[in-house]
């Protein structure tokens, strides 16, 4: 077999692999979108340039070895190339399979962020059922084995054919090397501008076109840059001018008093993934959360609250520390910054409150326990605590029925004269959706209904105790869950915020646009406690909160919503993917100013 023919066959194998992976990606993940056959074909075709980049990288080493064989007749080509062929098969197949299944959960392409979550494999394993782990890993291993087998079989054991100086074979081989060099050069261009495959207004089709390996490499390279260099959209003066006023320096005033006590005991109930999608009173699905719908009419309900991010680690940070999050980092990258930052727990501890957090799962995942201890929580109780008292726990932890019973016993037995701040985090409305309560046939909706049922039961019980009279319950979601939605839908970030308890003056609805990071400043203002150190948290009831907006981020994009509308912006492609009701350059500029300023803040 000639060297050129071998390289062409090898390129064909990788091309078929890439095209097949893209077709399967479309078929597997198209349930939540409506696309036509021509659109699907265009998406496959639009991805060819990024696939050629990967093919170029995969052909470089084989071309070099083939070139070496021209000077060393009888060189054992297959034996030399075997490690590389295995490596290339691993890199391509695991990226394609990983992208296929992770997109089902994340709704964005395989991203450099995956390396951060790989540092906490227990959290990944707990999020998936054993079947899903086995299916995903098994699929990748099987596909890798096929690719290795095929590429090894077409690789000649030796190449004894010479390359005469003026032969047509030599010219073809050199031309092939030039083509590979161009593909690799194009590959670096694609890595630096990974949105080059974007061709359609529908985000899913753009994601289908983008090669996951190219996307992961490009986003990883961006994450390796210094913070202040990652998103330099604007010059410093323009950024400062746009940013000025978005987070007012003074929102300490109290223009609207919601409470009848300035020193109530405080209970935060952080609901896992419980976005507005599951609550009928704010436009969600019917019959999923009747208990929350009932309690919304009994407290102060903020109906225009938006999560800052898409995961529990970021949602916890935003609520407790009043921070914005950055798209490309979680706890690990920002811990040194946020642990020196004020928090609700530390502010309340300074006023004599005892502080505690109760969580049914593990606080070791993603460094959450270390973060919570460093910001003022003196007592942390997680799955290890539940196991120590003999509670039944599954792989994910103690389900909400168990942990809420524990929470009730803990609060109902407390001294009425004590001052305490307790945070409770639910876990059951989360993969793998394995709860024993079954009013709904859909396992995902059923898990949310399970959490709703037991939260309602807890509120009913605790409201009958003497502790209720001086209790402020702040109920909210850490983030939302994509259930038949895409990231073009800004409502993905919409979450509930409800204040209940005997410390609340009267039921009412407040419709000001805000983020979950504003809970800190808004609550502390109601308590007459300063929040001046909270640079990113705003008292939304202040007279100086004159420009209400919400800003959210995830690894592939941002959302900005104000009174003029909402913009969803893809930071990989550097272009908006949705603007409602019309396009607005000002929203994009302000969003960029916040994103750029948040990275500058981390770099300080």
Flag the least confident range among 321-330, 538-547, 582-591. 321-330
Q: Which two tokens stand for residue 33?
A: 């979108």
Q: What is the pLDDT of residue 184?
A: 82
Kindly report, residue by residue over 462-498, the tens digit of the pLDDT.
999 999 999 999 999 999 998 988 888 999 999 999 9
Residue 233: inside a domain: no
Residue 306: inside a domain: yes
pLDDT at 335 > cutoff 70: no
Query: Do 446 and 566 share a structural domain?
Result: no
Kindly report, residue by residue over 141-188, the tens digit of the pLDDT.
999 999 999 999 999 998 878 787 778 888 899 999 999 998 887 655
Q: What is the pLDDT of residue 132?
A: 72
Residue 228: inside a domain: no
Mean pLDDT taken over the chain: 89
Q: Using pLDDT thresholds of 50, 70 and 90, give the confidence band for residue 122.
A: low
Query: Do 602 and 555 share a structural domain?
Result: yes
Measured distance CA(602)–CA(373) in Å, rounded: 21
Q: Using pLDDT thresholds of 50, 70 and 90, give the confidence band for residue 273.
A: very high
Q: Using pLDDT thresholds of 50, 70 and 90, give the confidence band for residue 585.
A: very high
Query: Do 115 and 207 share a structural domain?
Result: yes
Helix (H, G, I), strand (E, B) or coil at 164: coil
Categorise residue 16: left if φ over 0, alpha if ψ from -120 to 50, beta otherwise.
Answer: alpha
Measured distance CA(545)–CA(38) in Å, rounded: 48
Measured distance CA(107)–CA(115) in Å, rounded: 17
pLDDT at 431 > cutoff 50: yes
Query: Do 263 and 144 share a structural domain?
Result: no
Output the DSSP codes for 1-64.
Answer: --HHHHHHHHHHHHHHHHHHHHHHHHHHHGGGS---HHHHHHHHHHTHHHHHHHHHHHHHHHHH
Kindly report, residue by residue over 78-91, the tens digit of the pLDDT.
999 999 999 999 99
Q: Which of 374, 48, 13, 312 is nearest to 190 (CA)?
A: 48
Name the residue range of residue 57's domain.
3-223
- β pairing state of 300-306 and 514-515: parallel
Query: Which residues, 6 or more positions from 172, have their beta carbon under 8 angstroms from its beta carbon?
Result: 4
Among 530, 546, 562, residue at a domain's last position: 546
Q: Which two tokens stand for residue 134?
A: 């086995």
Kindly report, residue by residue over 54-108, the tens digit of the pLDDT.
999 999 999 999 999 988 888 899 999 999 999 999 999 999 998 888 887 777 7
- β pairing state of 420-425 and 379-381: unpaired
Quick one: what percent of the chain has pLDDT higher than 90? Answer: 61
Residue 97: inside a domain: yes
Helix (H, G, I), strand (E, B) or coil at 510: strand
Query: Do 282 and 218 share a structural domain?
Result: no
Query: Do 149 and 23 share a structural domain?
Result: yes
pLDDT at 129 > cutoff 80: no
Query: Do 454 and 342 share a structural domain?
Result: yes
In sequence order, the β-bridge partners of residue 515 are 306
Q: Are 186 and 52 within 8 A, CB to CB?
A: yes
Give the Cβ contact number of residue 1 at 10 Å. 11
Kindly report, residue by residue over 7-24, the tens digit of the pLDDT.
999 999 999 999 999 999
Residue 330: inside a domain: yes
Q: Cα angle at 100 between 364 and 485, to 5 degrees?
A: 80
Residue 235: inside a domain: no
Query: Do 65 and 37 share a structural domain?
Result: yes
Residue 137: inside a domain: yes
Q: Are 406 and 425 within 8 A, CB to CB?
A: no
Kindly report, residue by residue over 546-572, the tens digit of the pLDDT.
999 999 998 889 999 999 999 999 888
Measured distance CA(135)–CA(131) in Å, rounded: 6
Q: Which of 592, 568, 483 is nearest to 203 (CA)?
A: 568
Query: Do 578 and 528 share a structural domain?
Result: no
Q: Which two tokens stand for residue 42?
A: 């265009």
Query: Do 270 and 133 share a structural domain?
Result: no
Kindly report, residue by residue over 194-220, the tens digit of the pLDDT.
556 676 777 788 888 888 888 888 777
pLDDT at 192 > cutoff 50: no
| Segment holding 149, helix H or strand E | helix 130-154
Question: Looking at the 3D structure of the chain, how many domains does it have?
Answer: 3
pLDDT at 234 > cutoff 50: yes
Mean pLDDT (whole number) for 43-63: 91
């Amino acid at each position: 077999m000639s060297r050129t023919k071998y390289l062409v066959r090898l390129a064909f194998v990788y091309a078929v692999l890439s095209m097949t992976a893209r077709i399967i990606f479309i078929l597997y993940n198209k349930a939540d979108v409506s696309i036509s056959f021509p659109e699907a074909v265009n998406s496959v075709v639009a991805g060819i340039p990024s696939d050629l980049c990967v093919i170029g990288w995969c052909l470089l080493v084989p071309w070099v070895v083939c070139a070496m064989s021209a000077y060393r007749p009888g060189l054992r080509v297959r034996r030399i190339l075997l490690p590389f062929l295995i490596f290339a098969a691993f890199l391509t197949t695991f990226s394609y399979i990983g992208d296929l299944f992770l997109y089902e959960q994340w709704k964005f392409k395989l991203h450099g962020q995956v390396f951060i979550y790989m540092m906490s494999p227990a959290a990944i394993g707990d999020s998936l059922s054993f079947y899903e782990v086995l299916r995903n890993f098994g699929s990748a291993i099987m596909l890798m084995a096929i690719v290795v087998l095929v590429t090894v079989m077409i690789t000649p054991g030796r190449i004894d054919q010479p390359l005469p100086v003026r032969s047509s074979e030599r010219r073809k081989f050199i031309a092939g090397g030039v083509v590979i060099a161009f593909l690799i050069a194009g590959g670096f261009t694609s890595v630096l501008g990974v949105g080059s495959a974007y061709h359609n207004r529908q985000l899913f089709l753009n994601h289908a076109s983008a090669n996951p390996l190219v996307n992961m490499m490009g986003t990883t390279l961006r994450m390796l840059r210094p913070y202040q260099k990652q998103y330099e959209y604007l010059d410093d003066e323009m950024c400062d001018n746009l940013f000025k006023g978005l987070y007012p320096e003074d929102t300490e005033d109290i223009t609207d008093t919601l409470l009848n006590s300035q020193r109530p005991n405080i209970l935060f109930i952080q609901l896992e993934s419980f976005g507005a999608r599951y609550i009928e009173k704010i436009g969600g699905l019917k019959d999923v959360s009747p208990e929350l719908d009932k309690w919304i009419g009994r407290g102060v309900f903020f109906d225009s609250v938006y999560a800052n991010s898409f995961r529990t680690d970021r949602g916890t940070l935003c609520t407790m520390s009043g921070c914005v999050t950055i798209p490309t980092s979680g706890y690990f990258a920002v811990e040194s910054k946020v642990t020196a930052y004020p928090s609700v727990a530390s502010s309340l501890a300074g006023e004599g409150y005892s502080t505690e957090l109760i969580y049914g799962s593990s606080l070791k995942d993603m460094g959450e326990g270390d973060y919570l201890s460093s910001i003022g929580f003196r007592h942390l109780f997680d799955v290890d605590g539940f196991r120590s008292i003999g509670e039944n726990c599954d792989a994910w932890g103690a389900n909400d029925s168990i942990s809420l019973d524990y929470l009730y016993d803990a609060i109902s037995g407390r001294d009425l004269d004590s001052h305490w701040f307790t945070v409770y985090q639910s876990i059951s409305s989360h993969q793998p959706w394995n709860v024993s309560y079954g009013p709904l046939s859909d396992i995902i909706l059923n898990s949310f209904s399970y959490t709703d049922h037991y939260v309602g039961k807890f509120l009913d019980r605790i409201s009958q105790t003497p502790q209720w009279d001086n209790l402020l319950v702040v109920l909210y979601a850490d983030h939302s869950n994509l259930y038949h939605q895409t990231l073009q839908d800004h409502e993905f970030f919409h979450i509930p915020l409800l204040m209940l308890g005997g410390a609340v003056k009267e039921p009412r609805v407040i419709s000001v646009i805000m983020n979950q990071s504003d809970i800190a400043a808004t609550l502390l203002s109601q308590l007459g406690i300063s929040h001046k150190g909270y640079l990113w948290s705003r008292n939304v009831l202040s007279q100086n909160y004159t420009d209400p907006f919400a800003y959210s981020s995830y690894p592939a994009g941002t959302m900005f919503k104000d009174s003029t509308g909402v913009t969803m912006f893809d930071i990989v492609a550097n272009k908006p993917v949705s603007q409602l009701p019309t396009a607005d350059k000002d929203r994009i500029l302000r969003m960029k100013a916040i994103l750029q300023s948040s990275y500058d803040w981390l770099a300080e």
